[in-house]
Amino acid sequence: SKAYEKNTITEDGQLLLKKAERDQIETVWDRYEAQLPQCGYCEMGLSCRVCVMGPCRVDPFGEGPQKGVCGADGDIIVARNLCRMIAAGAAAHSDHGRDLVEVLAEVAEGRAPGYEIKDMEKLKRVAAEYNIETEGKDPLKIAGELAHAMQEDFGTRKKELTLVKTAPEKRQELWKKIGVMPRGIDREISETMHRTHMGVDNGWQSLLLHGIRNALSDGWGGSMIATEVSDILFGTPAPKLTAANVGVLKEDQVNIVVHGHNPVVSEMIMLACQSPEMLKLAEEKGAKGINLAGVCCTGNELLMRHGVPMAGNHLVSELVLTTGAVEMMIVDYQCIMPSMGDVAACYHTRMISTSDKARFPGMTHREFHPDNARELAKELVTAAIENFENRGEVYIPVEPVNAIGGFSVETIVAALGGTPQPLIDAIAAGKIRGAVGVVGCNNPKIKHDYGHVTLTKRLIENDILVVDTGCAAIANAKAGFKVADAIEFAGPGLKEICGSLGIPPVLHMGSCVDNARILVLASALAKAMKTDISDLPLAAAAPEWYSEKAVSIGVYTVASGVYTVLGPMPPITGSMNVVRLLTDGLNDVVGAAFGVEPDPEKAAVLIRRHIEEKRENLGLPF
């Protein structure tokens, strides 16, 4: 019906919304509507709760107060609020990275049964970045030394983060020159909290410059560490066939869904699901097998490395449960709506939280640590199997869509024959006009998946290669853009190149921390062309973003030299100074800036113009 079509473009989403209504399940869209109209001051970034002389609001129309009790004006309040969003986002990605480093350290010490070093080559390569001698050394010793060196990146003992030196030299020089070279991951987050305390940094420009440094400590620090260590522990992704949408759930099998971000838990769950002993138990209970599926980024991690199918992205996470087909959902952290337990309570689904730092109402808490993960995973999978017989009515209304995932930089370069040169040649010849990272979340302010899918379609039909991550990547998989045949959606040049390589025109590069992979790819292109990232015909877009993590991603992407178009407007319109700096002034500082355009058709035009301009500056054909 019309209401469902207004909320989402996906068929499974529409049908399950109807089911949710019948089952009297409240969803994210209902709660969004109940919040309308949302607070105008907060929307513009003009409300402040930083201290208890407040809370304060600055009147955007100039009639009421123009300053908070402390004297902060709209510029200061907006900049402070934005910086705190960056700090929270950077903290989320980086703490995720830290958890992986801790597992690496435990593996080195033999205290993490079930975990191991899967990619020896990558271990050595990353260790070399940290100046760790690897020749003839025991891999576990290398792992221990690397984990230790990475832990130093989080602290305050360094002048520069280690992996920053993988950026093009020009970029590093620029960061040094403007004083935004990140020093320590935790240090920059902590300094943001200090600077934004009442009575510390009250220069909106200096606040935002530090915000850039903080975001860079995420992109070239915490997120990059998360990606690299995940590859070391679980393998560097290579292309694999998979499937997406709620149709990946199976009526005749035990369905276990993992939701969240960190592969530390989901990898162990996957191993348990594959064990013959568990399969036997499932059969005894009348199921044809055990079906593991993902939601959000921990799903993306499994999809990238093992081809595990994807049940849905952020906004359908509640709806996945309304199928009545999920025996157990196991969550770690980030983007897990606190309503999930309420939804599950209407079905037989068991909800399990696993992280010492993330609890949820209506979930059973079973804490994972490196030393108990393998055993606990088996226990949970057993409980899921035993729950199969408690199923009520099952409703899986669609067939899954095929997709190929697993495009790490390593496999993209390998597919090109070992160097990025063929891609550069294709760009120079105008067959591929440029490349765009379409990333980020869903947000009920934008029709679910409409932003991602529309923008991606417009880009590929104009011969622009799309790489994607996160919930955007799941949207594009559901839309059918990730099979070899999807070259039919592409313009003639992109179709020719992708067709000859046998790859789709939209490459799934992973989870949200894997945006670091896109930085590495952009950096490799810039280095091969002996230039800076900001000179390349590249762009990024977050058409449906919602989270603080996305703010950090957007800022480090722009600070890395990539024009970035946001769908939803960030809470900054209360300060025209901040708006002008972010959407224009930054061009003179870091060679890139933000655009904001909620309509993906228009965003596509903005991005095409930008790519044309970059091509022209490089002397490339139109």
Applying CB under 5 A, among 512, 524, 540, 611 the residue interacting with Fe ion is: 512
Is 488 in contact with 495 (CB distance < 8 Å)? yes
Query: Quick one: which of 42, 51, 178, 501 contacts ligand SF4 (CB under 6 A)?
Result: 51
- In the complex, minimum distance from the CB of residue 59 to ligand SF4, in angstroms, rounded to a whole number: 13
- What secondary structure, in 3-state letters, does 245-300 show? CHHHCCCCCEEEEEECCCHHHHHHHHHHHHCHHHHHHHHHCCCCCEEEEEEHHHHH
Q: Which does 198 bind (CB under 5 to 8 A by kind): ligand SF4, Fe ion, none?
A: ligand SF4
Nearer to ligand SF4, 54 or 585 (CB): 54
Q: Work out whether 308 is an interface residue with Fe ion (CB under 5 A).
A: no
Total residue count of the chain as it appears in this document:
622
Nearest to 296 by CA among 283, 284, 308, 288: 308
Is residue 606 part of the contact set for ligand SF4 (CB under 6 A)? no
Residue 13 or 510: which CB sits closer to Fe ion? 510
8/313 with CB nearer Fe ion: 313
Closest of 347, 328, 174 to residue 254, by C-alpha? 328
Whichever of 244 and 512 has its CB closer to Fe ion, that residue is 512
CB of 186 vs ligand SF4, minimal distance in Å: 24
The distance of Cα 466 from the centroid of its chain, to the nearest Å, equals 15
Structural element, H or E, at residue 185: helix 185-195
CB of 470: closest distance to Fe ion in angstroms? Answer: 4
Q: Looking at 13, 184, 219, 470, which residue binds Fe ion (CB under 5 A)?
A: 470
The Cα–Cα gap between 539 and 557 comes to: 9
For 240, the enclosing helix (H) or strand (E) is strand 240-244
**Closer to Fe ion by Cβ: residue 327 or 449:** 449
Mask of contacts with ligand SF4, 68-107, x by CB under 6 A? Answer: xxx-x----x------------------------------
Report what 297 binds from Fe ion, ligand SF4, none; CB cut-off 5-8 Å by kind: Fe ion
Least distance to Fe ion from the beta carbon of 244, Å? 15
In the complex, what is the shortest distance from the CB of residue 365 to ligand SF4, in angstroms, rounded to a whole number? Answer: 35
- Contact between residue 344 and residue 321 where contact means Cβ atoms under 8 Å apart: yes
| Residues facing residue 292 across a β-bridge | 256
90: closest CA among 198, 228, 184, 177?
184
| CB of 470 or CB of 570, closer to Fe ion | 470
Residue 112 DSSP one-character state:
-
Does 53 participate in binding ligand SF4 (rule CB under 6 A)?
Answer: yes
Does 55 participate in binding ligand SF4 (rule CB under 6 A)?
yes
Q: 552 to each of 87, 211, 272, 597, how far by Cα in Å?
A: 7, 9, 35, 18
Radius of gyration of the chain (CA): 24
In the block, tokens 């049964």 appear at 113
Residue 470's binding partner among Fe ion, ligand SF4, none (Cβ under 5 to 8 angstroms by kind) is Fe ion
Of the listed pieces 21-29, 47-55, 441-449, 583-591, which binds ligand SF4 according to CB under 6 A? 47-55
Which residue, 57 or 171, has its beta carbon nearer to ligand SF4? Answer: 57
Which one of ligand SF4, Fe ion, none interacts with residue 53, CB within 5 to 8 A by kind?
ligand SF4
Determine the Cα–Cα distance for residues 142 and 164; give it in Å rounded to an integer.
Answer: 21
Q: Which does 194 bind (CB under 5 to 8 A by kind): Fe ion, ligand SF4, none?
A: none
Q: Taking CB under 6 A as the rule, does residue 56 contact ligand SF4?
A: yes
Q: Interhelix angle for 515-528 vs 421-429, to 10°? A: 80
Work out what residue 70 binds among Fe ion, ligand SF4, none; the CB cut-off runs from 5 to 8 Å by kind: ligand SF4
Check residue 207 for interaction with ligand SF4 (CB under 6 A).
no
On the question of a cis peptide bond just before residue 182, with omega within 30 degrees of 0, the verdict is no
48 binds, among Fe ion, ligand SF4, none (CB under 5 to 8 A by kind): ligand SF4
List C-alpha distances in Å: 601 to 207, 454, 487.
33, 7, 20
Count of residues of this chain found to bind Fe ion when the rule CB under 5 A is applied: 3
Report what 55 binds from Fe ion, ligand SF4, none; CB cut-off 5-8 Å by kind.
Answer: ligand SF4
User: Smallest distance, Å, CB 539 to ligand SF4?
Assistant: 35
The option from ligand SF4, Fe ion, none interacting with 177 (CB < 5 to 8 A, set by class) reads none
- Tell me the DSSP string of 295-364: EHHHHHHHHHHH---EEE-GGGHHHHHTTS--SEEEE-SSS--TTHHHHHTTSS-EEEE-BTTB--TT-E
Which of the ranges 129-137, 221-229, 508-516, 569-577 carries the binding residues for Fe ion, by CB under 5 A?
508-516
Picked from ligand SF4, Fe ion, none, the partner binding residue 512 (CB below 5 to 8 A depending on kind) is Fe ion
If the CB atoms of residues 297 and 459 are measured against Fe ion, the closer one turns out to be 297
Nearer to ligand SF4, 70 or 271 (CB): 70
Per-residue tokens: 336: 């897990």
Interface region with Fe ion, contact rule CB under 5 A, candidates 315-323, 345-353, 382-390, 466-474: 466-474
531 vs 429: CA distance, rounded Å: 18
Q: Does 48 bind ligand SF4 (CB under 6 A)?
A: yes
Answer yes or no: are the C-beta atoms of 433 and 611 closer than 8 Å: yes
Cβ neighbours around 34 below 10 Å, total: 8
Residue 56 binds: one of Fe ion, ligand SF4, none (C-beta under 5 to 8 A by kind) = ligand SF4
Q: Does 198 bind ligand SF4 (CB under 6 A)?
A: yes
Interface residue with ligand SF4 among 9, 17, 20, 50 (CB under 6 A) is: 50
Cα(20)–Cα(246) distance, integer angstroms: 14
The reply on whether position 65 binds ligand SF4 by CB under 6 A is no
- Asked if 42 touches ligand SF4 (CB under 6 A), the answer is no
SS3 60: coil
Single out the residue of 161, 297, 331, 521 in contact with Fe ion (rule: CB under 5 A).
Answer: 297
Sequence-ordered list of residues with C-beta below 8 angstroms from that of 177, at least 6 positions apart, any chain: none
Under the rule (CB under 5 A), what is the footprint of Fe ion? Answer: 297, 470, 512
Under the rule (CB under 6 A), what is the footprint of ligand SF4? Answer: 48-51, 53-56, 68-70, 72, 77, 198
